[in-house]
């Protein structure tokens, strides 16, 4: 009887270990959107060669751009809302409000476009951005102001590169037009954040 119980226990342990190994890491909203687009009918958004250097890969596709743009936009809105409560400098609060207003507008335009094109977008920021949101949410006053604006400079340089790739390589005319329309707003954000960074650095 003891031997039978032992064999049952060993069998259950082996089964549970196999189940754990077969259970992949849960995917975030961005990964799920990318999977949905890759598994769906995206014949109108085939990958094309790209000479840009945004990511390690050297390809571009319209659906992938839309997912990354939505991820970035959702992040900027959430960080902007945090700035309204955690920032000390009024100019940083004002910048945060601009992020909320401008990126909410762009996000709504992108969602309408994605619906028209049958592209699945993430509903919340991806896990990488969520970590940044959590980090900044724990900061207050000058520490928040400096770290937030530093992040805004870097993020807007990255997202401008992303949109420039879309403007250059998009195969869909509407997506190309969205990228072209949004780029001046993003460049304004970068210029404003760089000016704020300079001012904050002088106050250190």
pTM: 0.77
d(CA 8, CA 18): 15
d(CA 122, CA 152): 21
Answer whether residue 10 is part of any domain. Answer: no
Domain count, the chain: 1
**Which tens digit of pLDDT belongs to each residue from 9-47?**
333 333 333 434 444 445 677 778 777 777 764 434 444
Answer whether residue 128 is part of any domain. Answer: yes
CA-nearest of 77, 126, 100, 106 to 179 is: 106
Contacts of 9 (CB under 8 A, 6+ apart): none
Answer whether residue 23 is part of any domain. Answer: no
Q: How confident is the model at residue 128 (pLDDT cuts 50, 70, 90)?
A: confident
d(CA 83, CA 66): 26
Give pLDDT, residue 40. 60
Domain of residue 66: give its range: 28-203
Average pLDDT of span 54-71: 78
Q: What is the average pLDDT score of the chain?
A: 82
User: What CATH number does residue 83 fall under?
Assistant: 1.20.1260.10
Answer whether residue 90 is part of any domain. Answer: yes
Answer whether residue 7 is part of any domain. Answer: no
Answer whether residue 47 is part of any domain. Answer: yes
The residue with greater pLDDT, 26 or 120, is 120
> Is residue 25 classed as helix, strand or coil in its secondary structure?
coil
Answer whether residue 101 is part of any domain. Answer: yes
In this model, does residue 157 exceed pLDDT 50?
yes
Q: Is residue 69 left, alpha or beta, with left meaning phi > 0 and alpha meaning psi from -120 to 50?
A: alpha
Residues in the chain: 204
Answer whether residue 20 is part of any domain. Answer: no
């Amino acid at each position: 009887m003891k031997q039978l119980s032992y064999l049952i226990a060993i069998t259950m342990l082996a089964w549970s270990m196999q189940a754990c190994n077969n259970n992949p890491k849960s995917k975030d909203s961005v990964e799920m959107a990318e999977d949905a687009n890759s598994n769906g009918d995206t014949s109108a958004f085939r990958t094309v060669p790209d000479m840009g250097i945004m990511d390690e890969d050297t390809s571009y596709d319209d659906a992938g751009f839309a997912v990354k743009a939505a991820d970035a936009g959702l992040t900027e809105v959430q960080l902007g809302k945090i700035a309204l409560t955690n920032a000390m400098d009024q100019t940083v609060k004002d910048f945060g409000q601009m992020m909320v207003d401008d990126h909410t507008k762009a996000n709504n335009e992108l969602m309408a476009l994605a619906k028209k094109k049958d592209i699945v977008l993430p509903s919340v920021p991806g896990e990488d951005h969520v970590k940044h949101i959590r980090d900044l949410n724990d900061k207050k006053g000058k520490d928040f102001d400096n770290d937030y604006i530093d992040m805004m400079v870097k993020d807007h340089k990255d997202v401008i590169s992303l949109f420039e790739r879309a403007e250059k390589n998009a195969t869909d005319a509407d997506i190309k037009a969205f990228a072209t329309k949004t780029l001046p707003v993003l460049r304004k954000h970068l210029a404003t954040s760089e000016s704020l960074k300079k001012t904050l650095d002088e106050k250190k």
